[in-house]
Amino acid sequence: MSVRRSLVIGTVGLATVLAAQTTALALPSADSAGAQAAAAARPPGAIVEGSLRALASTTGLRIGTAVNTDLLGEDAAYTEIVNREFNTITPENVMKWEVVEPQQGVFDFTGADEIVKSAQANGQLVRGHTLVWHSQLPAWMATNGGTTTTLTDQQVKDAVKKHVQAEAGRYKGRIWAWDVVNEAFNEDGTPRQSIFYKAWGNSTDYIADAFRWADQADPSAKLFYNDYNIEYTGPKSQAVYDLVKKLKAQKVPIDGVGFQTHLSTQYGFPDLQATMQRFADLGLDVAETEVDVRTAVKPGATEGTFTSEPLSALHAYTQQAYWDQTMKACLFVQRCVSYTVWGVADSNSWIPGVFPGEGAALLFDDDYQAKPEYTVISQDLALAAGKARHRTGEGSGGR
C-alpha cells in the first residue's frame, strides 16, 4: 500500500512545490550536465510546473512511459525526462517472462525490482507488463514464436499458474495495473494459436484463469487485457470486445482494456475515441498503453541505415496530428485512466529495429530535445485542465 500512500503525499506536495518553486523549476535543458543539475535541485517526486505529469494531474489522467534499466538511472538526460514528465512507468522488457524466469523455477527480478524502486522514489505508479504473452518467452517454455513447446499441456498450465503467482505476488500492493494477458488474438479475430491456447485444449479459457490467478496474487492491482490494432473497428477489436464482455458476465476479475496504439502515418487514423468508449461502456477502464507514431524517415549516410528525420514536412505534420488525436481520444473518454508512450527518445525507440525505414516515433528526438509532438500533447492536456476528472488511481476497488 505504500505506493498509494506516497501517491497521496505526492498530490499534497504538488501544490506546495508549485507554489514555492514556480520559477526555479522551469523546464531544464536536455544536456547531461543540465539534466543532472536539474534532477539534483529538486526532491524526488516533486512536480515540475508545465511538465506533462503536472498538466495531466489536473485531469486525474495518468501519463506514463516505457522504461529500460540500461538507461534509467544510468543516462542522466533520459532519467531526468522520465522522472520530470511522467507519473507512471512501464518496464519495456524487464518484467517479461524470458527475463524474470530464464530457467524453469529460477527467477531473476533484478531489473524489475530496480524499476519498482525507482517509481516509488519518484512518486510514480507502475504498469506491470506483462504476465501471459506468446512473445519473449524463455526457451524452456516455448519455441517458434510461442506456438510450440516440449512441455505437456498440464506442464504448461502449471508453469503459467506458478509464473503469474510468483511475479504478481512478488509485487503485491506495488503495481497499479497489470497487463495480465497480452495479444491473444489474430487480425481476423480468431484466437492466436499460442502454447497457452493449445494447452487449454484449443480454448481461450487460459485468459480467465490468468486473471483469477493474478487477482489472487495481488487483489489491489487493476487487471488489464492489452492488445494492438484493436483501436480500429474490425474483427480483432470485435473479438476482444466479445471476450471481455464474456469475462465481465462470468465475474472474472478484469478491470480494463489496454489499447497499445502503435500507429503509423501510412495508415488512416483509427476510430479510437469511439472504440475506447464502446469498451468503457461495458463497465471497464480503458488506457492507451504503448503510444508511438512512426513515419517514413530519411535514409542515413550508409546504405540500409536511416535517420530519425521524417521524410518530409508533411510526414512530420501528420505525426503531430496523430499524437493530438491519440491524446484527445483519451481525454474525451472519462474512463481512459492512463496514457503511456512507448519509450522516451527516438534514439531508444523499438521502431527502427522492427520497422526499417520508419521511425521518429516518440516525443523527444535523438538528442533528448522535445519535439513538436511533445508540445501538441501538452497543449491538449492544458486545454483539458479543470474538466471532468478521469476515474483513476483507485486500484481495483471499483471492480
Q: Please say which residue, 14 or 181, places its beta carbon nearer to ligand XIL.
A: 181
Asked if residue 274 lies in contact with residue 305, where contact means CB atoms within 8 angstroms, the answer is no
CB of 154 to ligand XIL, least distance (A): 28
Determine whether 183 is an active site residue: yes
Q: Please say which residue, 10 or 258, places its beta carbon nearer to ligand XIL.
A: 258
Asked if residue 369 lies in contact with residue 30, where contact means CB atoms within 8 angstroms, the answer is yes
Alpha-carbon gap, residue 114 to 124, rounded angstroms: 13
Query: Any idea what the Cα angle at residue 315 is, between residues 337 and 276, rounded to 5°?
Result: 20
Using the rule CB under 6 A, is 122 a contact of ligand XIL? no
Using the rule CB under 6 A, is 182 a contact of ligand XIL? yes
CB of 96 to ligand XIL, least distance (A): 7
45 in the Ramachandran plot: left (φ > 0), alpha (ψ -120 to 50) or beta? Answer: left
Using the rule CB under 6 A, is 78 a contact of ligand XIL? no
Q: Please say which residue, 52 or 94, places its beta carbon nearer to ligand XIL.
A: 94
H or E, element range at 62: strand 62-67
Instruction: Give the closest residue to 185 by CA, choosing from 177, 194, 176.
Output: 194
CA atoms within 13 A on the CB side of 233: 6
Instruction: Give the closest residue to 240 by CA, choosing from 273, 272, 279.
Output: 279
The mark string for 194-213 relative to ligand XIL (x by CB under 6 A, - otherwise) is: --------------------
Q: Please say which residue, 156 or 291, places its beta carbon nearer to ligand XIL.
A: 291
Q: Please say which residue, 10 or 228, places its beta carbon nearer to ligand XIL.
A: 228
Could you tell me the CA-to-CA distances from 297 to 15, 269, 309, 356 in Å, in that order?
42, 19, 5, 9
Q: Please say which residue, 47 or 112, places its beta carbon nearer to ligand XIL.
A: 112
CB of 350 to ligand XIL, least distance (A): 3
CB of 270 to ligand XIL, least distance (A): 16
H or E, element range at 391: none
Cα end-to-end span (Å), the chain: 18
Q: Which residues have a Cβ under 8 Å from the Cβ of 280 and sit 6 or more positions away?
A: 286, 333, 334, 335, 336
Q: Please say which residue, 94 or 244, places its beta carbon nearer to ligand XIL.
A: 94
Q: Which residue has the cell 513538436?
A: 372
Using the rule CB under 6 A, is 292 a contact of ligand XIL? no
Asked if residue 76 lies in contact with residue 117, where contact means CB atoms within 8 angstroms, the answer is no
Q: What are 52's three cell numbers? A: 506533462
Determine whether 290 is an active site residue: yes
Alpha-carbon gap, residue 90 to 239, rounded angstroms: 26
Which of 80, 101, 167, 290 is the catalytic position? 290
Q: If you compute the radius of gyration of the chain from its CA atoms, what whole number of angstroms results?
A: 20
The mark string for 256-285 relative to ligand XIL (x by CB under 6 A, - otherwise) is: ----x-------------------------
Using the rule CB under 6 A, is 225 a contact of ligand XIL? no
Instruction: Give the closest residue to 47 by CA, choosing from 74, 76, 75, 7.
Output: 7
CB of 387 to ligand XIL, least distance (A): 30
Q: Which of 29, 32, 93, 320 binds ligand XIL (CB under 6 A)?
A: 93
Total residues at interface with ligand XIL (CB under 6 A)? 6
CB of 238 to ligand XIL, least distance (A): 20
Q: Please say which residue, 133 or 200, places its beta carbon nearer to ligand XIL.
A: 133
CB of 141 to ligand XIL, least distance (A): 16
H or E, element range at 128: strand 125-133
Asked if residue 54 lies in contact with residue 14, where contact means CB atoms within 8 angstroms, the answer is yes
Q: Which of 75, 80, 85, 92 binds ligand XIL (CB under 6 A)?
A: 92
The mark string for 344-363 relative to ligand XIL (x by CB under 6 A, - otherwise) is: ------x-------------
Residue nearest to ligand XIL as judged by C-beta position: 350
Which of 85, 92, 167, 183 is the catalytic position? 183
Q: Which residues bind ligand XIL (CB under 6 A)?
A: 92-93, 182, 260, 290, 350
Q: Which residues are catalytic?
A: 183, 290
